[in-house]
Chain A
Amino acid sequence: MAKKVSLINMKGGVGKSTLAVNLAWHFAAMSKWIKKVLVVDLDPQFNASQYLLGVTEYDKIIKNNIPTIWDIFEQFTPLPGSPVPSALEPTKVIYNAKKFYAGSCIDLIPSRLELAFSLRNPGQKEQLLAKLISKIEDKYGLIVLDCPPTESLFTWAAYLTSDYILVPVKPEYLSSTGVSLLVNSMEEFKRRYEDHNLELAGIVFNATTEYVPEEITSKAEVKKIAQKHGWYVFQNEVSYSRSYPKGAREGQPIFRTSYSHLTQAARFSAFAEEFAQRIGL
């Protein structure tokens, strides 16, 4: 059964999509792991889909009306003149993004801009994703959900689907406050869904540079709050590197981005290993 992890922070621009895709790639392509990985793009901004597919492949999905995450949330929405809606077949919404020689892969449930429209009428839709994923999770070793940075139907859909939450935090003032917002949201969720096991896998400092006083202060503050509430903070940080945005442009992970420093790839790898240990991968 797959380990299901949502990457969430109630603050945008902390590097959730980049981290989600790089983690997926690490566990699918590194010969030590060779996991089949599914990435679920839950963000209407569809950055993870952009990273994994590129323009041509993504355009095919849109032009050919291939189902996306939007279809999962709207599968039972009746349309005038259409037959009575039935449950969406999971394989129709899963798109192979990368195949690797050892038999592993990165599959994707892509997102699209129209996903935001599902928020206009969110009633009873939050469980649909978890139901669909439960039908196919045995095929995967890891399922990574890339979430939007605001509390919504998608956040709860992610909680219901996941075993763990991973919180990337960019060590700066506004990004750090996003952690408390998220934990509030998780607590509210747990009150409503008492029987659902959802754990905070931990907080990872992302895009760190070590030299900025603001960063040092923010890290210290986040660690203090984490200690107070018993939240885990990953020892390995993902340091800032221009190779990350470059990798997104090239459609490559940090360890295959052209001219990326081995030290950056090694730091990411160290975090990925700690993450795997933490969630029992």
Chain B
Amino acid sequence: MTTQRELDLLVDLAKLLKKHGPDTFESLAESISSPEMTQHLSRVLTQVAKIARTIPKTKGEAGIKQEPRIPKSLISLKSAEPEKYQLLMNFYNDLIAKTVLPTLRDIKEFGVDCGLREIRAKSRQKAISPLISSLLKFPNEQLIARIQSLEKYDTGDRSLEGWSNIILNRQRRLGEKQ
């Protein structure tokens, strides 16, 4: 029986037929059918995988999202003002996770409401560090009030399955009572 993954591989291989020609496929199939060749291939591929893991990823590597830099001034607060540091780090993490101020507009409006200088960043990612830096000057109490009153965008479970459980369980319980 062929699994879906094997089928996918087969499709990928079929796509390479045009590039390499059927003769190359046949000769390769013959070569790798011998146990010695299979063992040799396995050793080579394991070695390649090990090397790939040790190569450091470059900054510009495609597909990797760079998180905004944590402002140095915030890091320096760690020992001097641990409470404020923790508060702002939590806020920073919420911003990264988009559970708070989910759009660039929200960040800008929050800045305006806090009386901060206009944040001129053109993307949400780029607006996070300036916002955190600007909030450093706030006294702790004011900072707590501002941040705690923010709406968190954790919308929780909104699945239809969840709703149907609530509705059907309720009806079952009522049925049992009657």
* Residues in A lying within 8 Å of B, measured CB to CB: 29, 31, 50, 54-59, 62, 98-103, 112-114, 249-252, 256
| B162 near A59: Cβ-Cβ < 8 Å | yes
Find B103's partner among A29, A50, A256 (CB 8 Å cutoff): A256
A sample of 13 more A-B contacts (CB under 8 A), given A31-B113, A101-B150, is A54-B155, A54-B157, A54-B158, A57-B156, A59-B162, A98-B151, A100-B149, A102-B113, A102-B149, A112-B170, A114-B174, A250-B155, A252-B155
Q: With an 8 A cutoff between CB atoms, is B167 at the interface?
A: yes
CB-contact partner of A55 in B113, B149, B157, B170, under 8 A: B157
The answer on a CB contact under 8 Å between A55 and B158 is yes
Contact with A along B19-56 (1 / 0, CB 8 A): 00000000000000000000000000000000000000
| 9 closest cross-chain pairs (CB), A and B | A55-B162, A251-B155, A55-B157, A56-B156, A54-B156, A101-B150, A54-B158, A56-B157, A101-B149
| B110 beta carbon closer than 8 Å to chain A | yes
With a cutoff of 8 Å between Cβ atoms, the chain B residues found around residue A251 in the complex are 155-156, 158
Interface residues of B in 125-178 (CB under 8 A from A): 146, 149-151, 153, 155-159, 162-163, 165-167, 170-171, 174
Q: Would you call B109 an interface residue if the criterion is a C-beta within 8 Å of the partner chain's C-beta atoms? A: yes
Taken residue by residue from 50 to 90, chain B's Cβ proximity to chain A (1 for < 8 Å, 0 otherwise) reads as: 00000000000000000000000000000000000000000
Q: Within 8 Å CB of B155, what residues of A?
A: 54, 250-252
Question: Smallest distance from the beta carbon of A116 to chain B beta carbons, Å?
Answer: 11
Q: A17–B165 Cα gap in the complex (Å)? A: 22
Q: Is the CB of B102 within 8 A of A58?
A: no
Question: With A50-B163, A113-B170, A256-B102 given, is the CB distance from A103 to B149 under 8 Å?
Answer: yes
A251 vs B152: C-alpha distance when bound (angstroms): 12
A99 to B103, CA, bound (A): 17
In the bound assembly, the distance between CA atoms of A101 and B165 in angstroms comes to 33
Instruction: Looking at the assembled complex, report how far the CB atom of B89 sits from the nearest CB atom of chain A, in whole angstroms.
Output: 19
Name B residues whose Cβ lies closer than 8 Å to a Cβ of A.
Answer: 102-103, 109-110, 112-113, 146, 149-151, 153, 155-159, 162-163, 165-167, 170-171, 174
B residues near A249, Cβ cutoff 8 Å:
158
Minimum Cβ distance to chain B for residue A146 (Å): 17
**Complex formed: what's the CA distance from A280 to B47 in Å?**
75
**Which residues from B are CB-within-8-Å of A50?**
163
CB closest chain-A residue, reference B157: A55
Q: A31–B102 contact, CB under 8 A?
A: no
The CA of A59 and the CA of B166, in the complex, are separated in Å by 7
Residue of A nearest to B149 (CB): A101
- Chain A residues positioned under 8 Å from B156 (CB to CB): 54-57, 251
State the CA gap A54–B159 with chains docked (Å): 8
The reply to whether B146 and A113 contact each other, CB–CB distance below 8 Å, is no
- From the candidates A58, A62, A101, A113, name the one contacting B151 in the complex (CB within 8 A): A101
- The distance from the CB of A189 to the nearest CB of chain B, in whole angstroms, is 32
A262 to chain B, nearest CB (A): 10
Given A55-B163, A113-B170, A256-B103, the answer on whether A99 and B151 have CB atoms closer than 8 Å is yes
Complex Cα–Cα for A117 and B146 (A): 43
Q: Which residues of A contact B113 (CB under 8 A)?
A: 31, 101-102
Task: Assess the B166–A55 pair: CB atoms within 8 A.
Answer: yes
A-B contact pairs, 28 of them (CB 8 A): A31-B112, A31-B113, A54-B157, A54-B158, A55-B156, A55-B157, A55-B159, A55-B165, A56-B157, A57-B156, A58-B166, A59-B162, A59-B166, A62-B170, A99-B150, A99-B151, A100-B151, A101-B146, A101-B149, A112-B170, A113-B170, A113-B171, A249-B158, A250-B155, A251-B155, A251-B156, A252-B153, A256-B102
Distance from A61 Cβ to chain B, minimum over Cβ atoms (Å): 10
